[in-house]
Chains A and B, each alone.
Chain A
Amino acid sequence: MRERIKNREEFLALQEKFMQARSREKRKVLVCCGTGCAAGGNLAVYEELKNQLAAHGAAFELSLNDNSGDAVGLKKSGCHGFCEMGPLVRIEPEGWLYTKVRVDDVAEIVEKTVLGGEFVERLGYHQNGQLYKRQEDIPFYKKQTRRVLEHCGHIDAESIEEYFAIGGYSALYKALFGMSGEEIIAEVSNSGLRGRGGAGFPAGTKWAQVAAHTEEKVKYIVCNGDEGDPGAFMDRSCMEGDPHKILEGMIIASVATNSPEGYIYVRAEYPLAVSRLSIAIAQAEEYGLLGDDILGSGKSFHIHINKGAGAFVCGEGSAMTASIEGNRGMPRTKPPRSVDKGLFGKPTCLNNVETFANVPDIIKKGADWFRSVGTEKSSGTKAFALTGNVVNTGLIEVPMGTTLREVVYDIGGGIKNGKKFKAVQIGGPSGGCLTEEHLDLPMDFDSLKKVGAIIGSGGLVVMDEDSCMVNIAQFFMNFICEESCGKCTPCREGTTRMNEILKRITQGKGRMNDIDELRDLASMIQVSSLCGLGKTAPNPVLSTLQNFEEEYVEHIRDKRCRCGSCKALSQFVITDDCIGCTLCARNCPVEAITGSPRQKHEIDPNKCIKCGTCKDHCPRGAIKEG
């Protein structure tokens, strides 16, 4: 039963109660139930843990509200960011991490670890023959500075009591009872926090602009959780793993700017994030942390969730507000800016999930603490989604200004399968690529801008020597083409023409003047598009042209794709390494492969549809593509 907290004293007493309850738990078993681990079967692991603990007669509690004292706390946590090694189970107080856990492993975990306090070695993480028991010692985590993601994976993501127990909502308490609106904004400004959604606009400045509209009674706080960039999932993990942190950040923004209404716009592709946020909002309302007269302070704030409906452009501010209003999500010309006339024509403070998630710590620990990491102009940390052809994929958080080399090699563990590093695509369809020469470039807002890339929302897709850069450029242009809302001509028509040209180049039908034409179109689209989607759409093409022009030329002049990624240009051939096992022939969907058992096989290029199935099945690596 949750009762409304009526005043500050009651809040402090309640927080103390749950801190005690959490510290009394003699052991915690945290089962990751983020999207990744849930897909890997961790929900079943959780259920089995419950059954086994009960069968052993062990005292355990599923919620701090059970308040049973010296028990084992069994919790569903959010995402640890190490999805590749999932399903994950974390054991406290030791901080052990079990990887790739199956239902069959549960009996051993309960008997040895939970009851016996013993580590199960085979479930531990191994790298280069070495065992890492503690999560924080694993190289992937050791080099990180987790601030926004600090509690992701370490607390029950569906329990506000857990959030209280780790000091949650203390920042709100401080903001409500110890600071004026101006002081809150000054703290955020001094921290140097810049918008984590991509453009890097100073958050404090934005808040001050909204706060300055004292003539308006209705103002809005909007949280952008429409993480549409392919290859980015920082905000998803944050919403799933620590939803109250985002709510707390939003409530503080509401107090600072005097805005009584709030919206969180979440992508429809994130059903778990929607559900965790809904639970969090309902819990916060029950305790009176949301709603009218928050903690008896006289302040009010209501949060509504809007589910996106599958339009990338809605991540743009004015398109998002149009969508919340129930319209086609199309951007409009600016000015007026959202801070003056945003949602429903009222001043609106629109920030990204990660931006809001940074706020509670800034208020609690101060601007100087926040500035203690990062660079002068880009303070704090940044979460990145590290994916692609890298050994350790997952969600990471590092100080701003960390170099690409540290991220790819120290945290990511280098390139997969011993291949060579080629490039990193950063910032999704609005970003660019970074190559070997940029490995020691500090990743912060301004350094990246100088080389034609952007931090964007923080997607880092690592590409090895087998990734074709023309193909990647066409991939992004195709994406933009489909997602362009069609309102302005440069973006609608320009990206379509660029996509046509790129398509014909990847099909071996390019012309030499296509490269100039791409550059012309790009500069036209950049200067004349209405919104950020169009203005940045040519970046992936320009950046690959700048760094890999010779690959474009090869595609056009030699009709050759050196990476074998462009299917129309590639051919599959069987080399002399073939042992005649017949696996390729049996798996070929179009019967293009012939040959007798134990004899070298042949592929009929006229029948081959270049699906690559044969290559995947060959035990000897005898099928080459190129």
Chain B
Amino acid sequence: METVDLKFIDSVLAKHGGDKAKIIAIMQDLQEQYRYLPQDALEYIAKKVGMSESKLYGVATFYGNFSLDAKGKYVVKVCRGTACHVRKSSSVLQALYDATGTSEHSPNSKDGLFTLEIVSCLGACGLSPVVMVNDVVHAAMTPDKARDLVKQLREEA
């Protein structure tokens, strides 16, 4: 129990009244803090809300937004929705994989900076193809713009 701050987790639990039905919101707050769901934290939460660890694990693994592995500082969501697809988002995705040194099967970059996620639609279809870095939407992407974006994020980091 060294990696997680129990005080923080208790505060999250208190915010949601320790309610089992709020478990998704609880894990969302947890993930926002740690950028993933640390196992120790999940074990602690399961005990506190009176849920079996396996059930909690089941919920955590069902939803695409939850990650059991540490995510990078920048979570890059690449939209692969229909509108983006017909405007060639696949080449943007490939450029991002190459620029960050990630791939479909290892979405986390070694330097801990980037996690690449494919999402099905960001709802900004008018600006396709789009990429969202953390909560910021980048519109009308091209492979060149994608490479520049990675470069810029690296400099900022």
Contacts and interface: CB of A to CB of B under 8 A. Distances in A.
Given A309-B24, A312-B120, A329-B62, A613 B143 contact: yes
A387 B126 CA distance: 6
Contact of A269 (B21, B24, B122): B122
A475 B65 contact: no
Contacts of A40: 127, 139
Nearest to B19: A326
Interface in B47-74: 58-59, 62-66
B25 interface: yes
A230 to B, nearest CB: 3
Given A309-B28, A309-B66, A394 B121 contact: no
Contact of A39 (B19, B22, B120, B139): B139
Given A311-B62, A328-B58, A388 B83 contact: yes
Interface string B66-101: 100000000001001111011110010010001000
Interface stretch (B106-114, B130-138, B148-156): B130-138
B41 interface: no
Nearest to A467: B86
Interface string A239-273: 00000000000000000000000000001111100
B100 to A, nearest CB: 14
B13 interface: no
Given A307-B25, A310-B64, A325-B21, A232 B121 contact: yes
B126 A84 contact: yes
Contacts of A323: 24
A393 interface: yes
A229 B121 contact: yes
A219 interface: no
Interface residues of B, number: 47
B30 to A, nearest CB: 12
A614 B14 CA distance: 56
Given A309-B28, A611-B94, A326 B20 contact: yes
A459 B137 contact: no
Contacts of A611: 91, 94, 143
Given A326-B20, A326-B23, A616 B143 contact: yes
A502 interface: no
A236 B59 contact: no
Contacts of A326: 19-24, 59
Contacts of B127: 36, 39-40, 83-84, 86
A544 interface: no
Most buried by A among B20, B63, B124, B125: B125
A271 B135 contact: yes
B88 A612 contact: yes
Contacts, number: 154
B18 to A, nearest CB: 12
A613 B59 CA distance: 41
A38 B122 CA distance: 14
B82 to A, nearest CB: 4
A308 B139 CA distance: 23
A36 B64 contact: no
Nearest to A617: B144
B62 A269 contact: no
B151 to A, nearest CB: 15
A385 interface: yes
Nearest to B117: A310
Nearest to B142: A616
A587 to B, nearest CB: 8
A168 to B, nearest CB: 24
Contacts of A271: 135
Interface in A29-65: 35-36, 38-40
B115 interface: no
A271 B142 CA distance: 24
Given A323-B24, A387-B83, A475-B85, A230 B98 contact: no
A550 B57 CA distance: 47
B40 to A, nearest CB: 21
A306 interface: yes
Contacts of B87: 388-389
B59 A233 contact: no
A479 B82 CA distance: 10
B119 interface: yes
Contacts of A467: 86
A228 B120 contact: yes
A86 B119 CA distance: 23
A348 B116 CA distance: 38
B82 A36 contact: no
Interface in A472-490: 472, 475-476, 479, 483, 485
A171 interface: no
A399 interface: no
Given A40-B139, A387-B83, A387-B128, A310 B63 contact: yes
A463 B86 contact: yes
A393 B125 contact: yes
A311 B25 CA distance: 14
B134 to A, nearest CB: 10
Nearest to A230: B81
A17 B64 CA distance: 47
Most buried by A among B121, B122, B124, B143: B121
A425 interface: yes
A231 B125 contact: yes
Interface string A445-457: 0000000000000
Given A230-B120, A323-B24, A387 B139 contact: no
Contact of B124 (A83, A268, A306, A485): A83
B63 A393 contact: no
B139 to A, nearest CB: 5
B63 A39 contact: no
Given A83-B124, A233-B124, A310-B64, A328 B82 contact: no
A227 interface: yes
A84 B80 CA distance: 18
Interface in A418-436: 425, 428
A324 interface: yes
9 tightest A-B contacts by CB? A83-B126, A310-B64, A230-B81, A309-B63, A387-B83, A310-B65, A233-B123, A39-B137, A231-B82
16 contacts: A35-B137, A36-B139, A39-B130, A81-B126, A229-B121, A310-B64, A311-B63, A323-B24, A327-B59, A328-B62, A393-B128, A459-B125, A461-B82, A485-B62, A611-B143, A613-B91
Given A269-B123, A612-B91, 13 more contacts: A36-B124, A228-B120, A230-B81, A230-B121, A233-B125, A267-B123, A385-B125, A387-B128, A393-B125, A461-B82, A475-B82, A483-B120, A612-B88
